[in-house]
Structures are given as C-alpha cells and as structure tokens.
Chain A
Amino acid sequence: MAARQAQGTSGQIDAIWRIESARVIATVARMVRDVGVAEDLAQDAIVVALQRWPSTGIPPNPGAWLTETAKHRAIDLMRRNATLQGKYEQIAHAIGVAGQAPDLEAELDDQIGDDLLSLVFTCCHPVLSMEARVALTLRMLGGLKTPEIARAFLLPDATVGQRISRAKRALATADVPFEVPSGPELQARLASVLEVVYLIFNEGYSATAGDDWMRPALTEEALRLGRILAGLAPDEPEVHGLVALMEIQASRQTARTGPEGEAILLASQDRRRWDRLLIRRGLAALERAESLGRPVGPYYLQAAIAACHAQAPTTEDTDWVRIAALYEALARVAGSPVVELNRAVAIGMAFGPELGLEAVDALDADGALDDYHLLPSVRGDLLARLGRLTEARQEFERAASMTHNNRERELLLGRAAQCAGAP
C-alpha cells in the first residue's frame, strides 16, 4: 500500500484519467443523456481524486472509484433538476442505473461496451462538423486535453476549446439520443465513425519530422481508437478492415521518411525497417474481417492492397495481379480517379507497361486528374519502361511543373534528365 500511495502524483492520476475517462463519461452519459454534462461530471470526479488521492493513496480500482463518484454527482444533479422540473422518472432511471448489482460482471461489461459504443456514435454524429467530431472523439474517447488536441492540429487552444463546447451544445440542441444506432442507420453512422478515426490517423501520418511530437502521436491515438472499436463492434468487417489498414500503414512509419524528413515512396523504402509486429497484427485483423463472411468495403480492400506490399520482399516480387484486382474491386465500391490511377500502376506492373499506359491514357482523356502531378509522373514511368524516352521526359517535366513540393520536383526533374541522358 505504501508504494501505491507514493504514486499518488498528478502524473499518475493523469495516466489513470486517460485510461478511464471514456468509460466514466460513457457510464454517466447513459444516466444523464447528455455527453457534455457527463464529461463535466467526470471532470468533477477527477478533481476530487486530485484532491484526495495524494493523501489517501490511489484506490485499488481507480476506474470504479471515478465512476461511482461521477455517478453520485449525476444523481445529485438529477435530484436537483427533478425538484425543479418535476422529472421524477429521471430519478427512477438514475437509481435503477446506480443500483445495479456489482457482481454481475459480465452483464456490466456488456453495458460498458454498449455505453462506450454509444459514446463513439454520439461523438461522431453527423449533426457535427468533421472538425468537431474529431476534436470531441479525441477528447471524450482518447482522454486528450484540449491543449494536446490543439497542439496536434496546430491550432490555438481557444479555437479547439470553442469547437468542443460548441459541439457539446450542438448535440444537446439537436437532442441527439445517447444510443447505438440500429437498422439501416447503423452502416451510415458507422461509416462516419470510421472516417473520423482514419482522419485522425492520417493527420498523424502526414506529420513531418519538424512537427511537435503530439502530431505524429495521433497515429497511435487512432490505432488505439480503432482497436477499441474492433472490440466493441467485432461483427463489422470494415472496423477490422480499418484497423488492418492503419496497422499496416503504421508499420512503415520509420521507413517512409529520410534523414532530412523527405518522403520516401513505397518502392524505394527499406523494407527491413518495416515493423513486423504491426504487419502481423494488420494481417490478423484482415483475417478477422474475412472470417465474418460478409461483403467487404473500401477499408478492407485498401488494407488488402497494403497487405500485398507488406508481404512482398521487393517491389518486383509483389503480387501485382492481386493488387490490380483489388483496385478494380475498390473502384467499384469507392471509385475515384486516384483509385483508377493506382489501378493503372498495378496493371502496368502486373501485365506490362502497354496495358498500364492504356489505362492511364483512358484516365488522361477523362480529364478529372488534369491538375494532379502523379498522372504525368506515372505516364512518364510507363513510357520510360517502353523505351519511349522523349515522351517520358516530357511527361516528367510536365509533372515537375505541376507539383508544389520542391523535393518531389527535384526527383521528377532527375527522372527527366535520366531519360534525356539515356542512349
């Protein structure tokens, strides 16, 4: 006990908050039916903990302690409201919730799972702007503080603070029910949740070397959220698909930037630096998605493509035929010109540059990617492989004139010079 007491520091209590806050907020939100109020009550509980724990020591089950404390505050609040407004059924509901037998552990586990899932769906509710969903999710589910979110998104604290309080008000005004959506609504709402998590991941993934550490840390936050979600909604193939995609992409984190922070493309990455543990986890998540035997969606397909690369020893020894097929499937469920361009690259690798060029030219004629430098870049690459070096050089130069990234421009001009210098 003495050792435990010695740990009653604010750093330790901070860590407990990060681990427990989502569950505390979710449990209280079910009682008070308002996530904003629930978060305030959970905050009250941690304030009490910060006052008491340094002298009493951290209780054996700090999460249960925080939940109980927040629940008592919720009941007090509802009693006051009920007295004012005569809402007796609220008390009855609250007492019903608080009076649950604590020994029904499995049932409580289920309940906490439902509450957490309700919290996820509420934070990612479509009445909120995407920025608000992201901020609220990181705050309520990730246990991040407002300044941490602000640092990660390179925004002033006040902006994020306002965003969060506005989001809480918007949820209350719209009277968004605290529940897991069901029926046909479920898939659309789930798509919003996955989008929020993947957006958080990409914010972190696109961070550059000079950024504050809080920014790249977003990839870990997103992975953690994704894994939690996979535990809460294990029957949804796209949840596992998203987890797989994030695990495999994260496995390349250290290999995808050079010593000066420059981006290294997949084909040039040192595959020995890929994190095998994360790849293994990604492949396992893919298998879980497959084992559900339900139609797969865009996250699964992107993860399956990433898995092909992750398992290949070199660019040449990659299963490009499978990748081309997966891109075709992806084009059908979530088609976009960029997906088509990637499909063209895969076709070029799988079936030769002629067929790849054919696919790119179809896309070029379409015009949707007129401002996208990777189109001439890919075209240049295919032309170079066909030995049509004059045309290839023109394409690389066209691509170089279109990119806004200096390093990329250098790289493309280098390829153009190679074409000019070749016999």
Chain B
Amino acid sequence: MLFVYSGETGEGPTLERVEAMNRYNEELSKAGVLLALDGLHPPSTGTRLTFSGSGDRPTVTDGPFTEAKEFVGGYWVIQARSKEEAIELASRAPLGAGAIEVRQIAEGSDYPPEIEQAAKLSQDPPEQTFAE
C-alpha cells in the first residue's frame, strides 16, 4: 500500500498535476499492478477521534489540524513482487512535493503463531449444514 503524504492544506491540485497523476495511474493499470486507489478530501474537512485509553468515548475534533505538518492525501493498493519493486513504482509518481510511504499489507502468515491462531478463531466458519 502506498500512502501519499503532503503538506498542502487548502489549495486544490492544478490541471497539469491531475493530468500527470492520471497518466501515472494509467501506467500502473497497464502494467497490471494497480488494484485500487483513492484520493482524499483535504484534511481541513476531516474529523479526528482521539481515544484516551480510559475506555471512555473518544473525543471528536473537526479539522483543520494545525499541529500536524503532513497529511495522508490518498493511497494506492498495488501488487508488487518485492519491496524494491514497490519502491520503484512509487518513485515514478508525479508528486510535486510530499512523500510516499510504502507499507506491506499484512497477511495471516506474517504474524506470530498465537496471533494468527486468534485471528483464525475469530473467523471460524459458521456451522455447516450438509444434508437437508
């Protein structure tokens, strides 16, 4: 998964940027690696829920969030064969300024056995009915 971070808050993207981004997305799609993507509305329109850890209901704060410098602006889900390949694909993104974070989507087998077992238990199939 590729997360785009940008420092921009208010201003929308220019036409050139959108076109360049479309071309990039098209490239990913043609290469057969693009599974999903989305752009997000600016963080000023976002809402943050803060959990205190006390078990109380979370505190709800509306944007803009002045204390943070970078925000997630969107994401791609790509199917890459290696981290290097994901990095290479990400490095071709026409990002004016900002950052992309490459993170691998976790699968069951990535976890220690006891966690994987717990995840499996919570997903145990319902009772099967064979014959009527």
Contacts and interface: CB of A to CB of B under 8 A. Distances in A.
5 contacts: A18-B81, A224-B79, A254-B108, A267-B128, A281-B35
Nearest to A268: B128
B82 A220 contact: no
A277 B35 contact: yes
Contacts of B77: 277
Q: How large is the interface on A (under 10, 10 to 19, 20 to 34, 35 or more residues)?
A: 35 or more
A384 interface: yes
What secondary structure prevails in chain A residues at the interface with B? helix
Contacts of A384: 130-131
B20 interface: no
Contacts of B82: 11, 14-15
B120 A18 contact: no
A180 interface: no
A239 B77 CA distance: 23
Interface of A: 4, 7, 11-12, 14-16, 18-19, 217, 220, 223-228, 231, 254, 259, 267-270, 272-273, 277-278, 281, 316, 381, 384-385, 415, 418
Interface residues of B, number: 28
Contact of B88 (A16, A227, A254): A16
Contact of B84 (A12, A277, A316, A418): A12
Contacts of B30: 228, 231
B79 A273 contact: no
Nearest to B129: A316
Interface string B115-132: 000001001110011111
A18 B33 CA distance: 12
A384 B35 CA distance: 43
A385 B36 contact: no
Nearest to A112: B30
A4 B91 CA distance: 9
A19 B131 CA distance: 50
Contacts of B131: 381, 384-385
A278 B27 CA distance: 20
Interface in B76-90: 77, 79, 81-82, 84-85, 87-89
Given A226-B32, A259-B120, A217 B81 contact: yes
A224 B32 CA distance: 5
B84 A11 contact: yes
Interface in B104-119: 107-108
